Chains A and B, each alone.
Chain A
Amino acid sequence: MTVQPAMPMSWRRETKPHKFCPGCGHGLVLKVLGQAVDELNIQDKMVFGCDIGCSLLAWDFFNVDSIQTHHGRTTPVITGMKRANPNLIGVAYMGDGGGYAIGSQHLVSAATRNEKITVILVNNTQYGMTGGQMAPTTLPGQKTETSPYGRDVSKTGNPTLGPEMVNAITGEGAYVARGTVSKVNKLKEYIKKALENQINGNGFSFVEVLSACPTNWRTNAEKTWKFLEEEMAEYFKVGEFKVPGSREEEGQSNG
């Protein structure tokens, strides 16, 4: 008898092991997402949309209705679906290139309109699927295929701070957080809250996840962890930026 490792109920066993590279962070994000789906009992209502880039490899990951879309276009597909049937729980899953570069207008506009969808954006500081080019999130000085001498911020600007931006443009009811695959319990809490926020009909929910890409970073386990935990977390602050219903609290701390 084969022993199956513990998997979330909402995972599709037939498509495991998954298609991501060894050491990739996507598996961890999708694990906590699966656990959150199980705990919230939304497997029958959730529609999982995935982008182009490594995220597309998740198109058959779950026992959940799934739509693999185009690069940057998962947000409008899930928006259109949610508008047409508000009973569904729409999750748009994408990378940093999809969300912050080619699809940034969709992210900004969906956030501004307070679309009742959940966007999960996996930030690994470069374009993984296409072979490691510079992304909006590439750190200053970081070497990629299109910044071989290190990202020069005087020519390419500073890394995008996604949750900070979404926080600035969303109104009441939105949920905004940044988690990391190095702290999966916290990440699960954020993703679960982001889903609950949609279930409760409050508004736009956005979680950026700091993730690892040892393949394109060309790092071993130790250096991968160090880059994620130290360099990335130094620039991209982990935590919650906006939580619905905690306005009074915020007011008090601001006052």
Chain B
Amino acid sequence: MTEKPVQEEKRVFMTGNEVCAWAAAAAQAEIMYGYPITPQNEIMHYWTRLAPKYNRDFLQTEDELSAGFTTAGGIMAGKRAFTATSGPGNILMQEPFSMAEAMRLPTVAIIQQRGGPSTATVIYSQQEVTMTSLGGNGEGLRIVYSTATHQELFDYTIKAFNTAWKYRFPTFVLADGYQAKMRESLKMYDPEAKGIKMVSTEPYVGKEGVPGVDRDPGHFRNTYNVEEELYEVLEQYIEDYDKMAPEVAEYEEIGSQDADVVVISHGVVSRAAKGAVQELQKQGYKVGYFRPITIRPLPVNEIRDIANSAKKVMVVESANGQLDRLIKEKVYGCNAEMIPFFKPGVGITTEEVESRLKELF
């Protein structure tokens, strides 16, 4: 067996894309399928450098449709496969992700959000929240981790493989161009040395024995003849998803239970929100911070508690209310006034959040 990519825990200083490649390697990912698009390219660049050293594989496809569908094929062959994309590439991948939802394929995709709509910027945004969470012609039976630091990029890329293979729903690590391109320090580790057991993979096709003789053939489909047939399948999927949701939902909070005003944010923007809240708390403001780490499924009970106890909830994001819509759906009937602070496709600073918060007192 080839040696592990990360053996001893070590502190490193690297870009987020490099972190993702190392994390996938540490998570024993076996093959990546990808197509170039900024700002996720360096995930492929680092993966293609690591892969031959650790007996892993890579295929550069003709487009993101193909990258998504080859990932599905790799998974059906029983491999821990993944892909990465952004913006217009994420649009194309909604087709294969829709099939992954329909066939319960544990696809793992790292999304480095860029500006939208259309080609927009290659730099940064939080505008792929709706598409990543609810894209495709289905019900959004997906798991989306939104990371805020390079340490989380490492942790949650590893976790994404385990969540995907445990529950068999398409799983995403949602980051952005800032996280992709900036350098930051983090600790890399071998998951098993930390007691994180990688969930084992299993082939859908090509199992032992002759189909029809030793075993039933694996007949995998996403098409149904009648409404009731589809409904029965979806009822089971939705039941599985709802049962899973409280087990995978994660969040981070500071003083959100007894604050007058709570800021809700996700991803890299929550660094600004956290900084602003901590500063204002020092100054005596009754302000709290809440950040869903899973934006799908959301930690619903915690969010509803806040929306019932706080007077005001300010949702801050680099999009025109994409997280806000997901939150509002969950807080229907709660008491807090919802305050928007949206800057679509643009970064948000601590100072901006701080001054907006002060206006609410």
Interface string of A121-150 (1 = CB under 8 A from B): 000000000000000000000000000000
Q: B138 on the interface (CB 8 Å rule)?
A: no
Neighbouring A residues of B31 by C-beta, 8 Å: 83-84
Q: B177 on the interface (CB 8 Å rule)?
A: no
- Contact in complex: B206, A45 (CB < 8 Å): yes
Cβ 8 A contact of B57, one of A44, A76, A83: A83
Q: B73 on the interface (CB 8 Å rule)?
A: yes
A67–B99 Cα gap in the complex (Å)? 11
- Contact in complex: A44, B209 (CB < 8 Å): yes
Q: A56 on the interface (CB 8 Å rule)?
A: yes
Q: A78 on the interface (CB 8 Å rule)?
A: yes
Chain B, interface residues (CB within 8 Å), range? 35 or more
Closest to B68 in A: A76
Q: A160 on the interface (CB 8 Å rule)?
A: no
- Contact in complex: A77, B206 (CB < 8 Å): no
- Contact in complex: B220, A67 (CB < 8 Å): yes
Closest to B58 in A: A83
- Identify which of A47, A66, A81, A109 gathers the most chain B CB atoms within 10 Å of its CB: A81
A88–B209 Cα gap in the complex (Å)? 13
Neighbouring B residues of A45 by C-beta, 8 Å: 206
Instruction: Select the stretch in B8-16, B45-53, B210-218, B340-348 that faces chain A.
Output: B210-218
A10–B211 Cα gap in the complex (Å)? 9
- Contact in complex: A83, B76 (CB < 8 Å): no
Cβ 8 A contact of A66, one of B70, B71, B99, B217: B217
Cβ 8 A contact of A83, one of B74, B203, B206, B217: B74
Take A76-B69, A109-B66 as given contacts and tell me if A85 and B206 are in contact as well, using a CB distance cutoff of 8 Å: yes
A82 → B minimal CB distance (Å):
7
Neighbouring A residues of B211 by C-beta, 8 Å: 43-44, 62-65
Interface string of A80-103 (1 = CB under 8 A from B): 111111011000000000000000
- Contact in complex: B217, A79 (CB < 8 Å): no
Neighbouring B residues of A80 by C-beta, 8 Å: 33, 59, 69-74, 76-77, 81
Chain A, interface residues (CB within 8 Å), range? 35 or more
A105–B210 Cα gap in the complex (Å)? 34
Cβ 8 A contact of B95, one of A44, A56, A73, A85: A73
A79–B219 Cα gap in the complex (Å)? 18
Take A44-B210, A63-B212, A76-B65 as given contacts and tell me if A88 and B99 are in contact as well, using a CB distance cutoff of 8 Å: no
B50 → A minimal CB distance (Å):
17
B58 → A minimal CB distance (Å):
9
Q: B7 on the interface (CB 8 Å rule)?
A: no
- Contact in complex: A88, B223 (CB < 8 Å): no
Q: A52 on the interface (CB 8 Å rule)?
A: yes
- Contact in complex: A85, B79 (CB < 8 Å): yes
Neighbouring B residues of A170 by C-beta, 8 Å: none
Q: A69 on the interface (CB 8 Å rule)?
A: yes
Which residues of B does A touch, CB under 8 Å? 30-31, 33, 57, 59, 61-63, 65-66, 69-79, 81, 95-96, 99, 203-207, 209-213, 217-223
Top 3 A-B pairs, shortest CB-CB distance: A63-B212, A80-B73, A80-B70
Which residues of A does B touch, CB under 8 Å? 10, 12, 43-45, 47, 52, 56, 59-60, 62-70, 73, 76-85, 87-88, 105-106, 108-109
- Other than A69-B69, A80-B73, give 11 A-B pairs with Cβ distance below 8 A: A60-B219, A62-B211, A64-B211, A67-B204, A70-B99, A76-B61, A77-B73, A83-B59, A84-B31, A84-B79, A85-B79
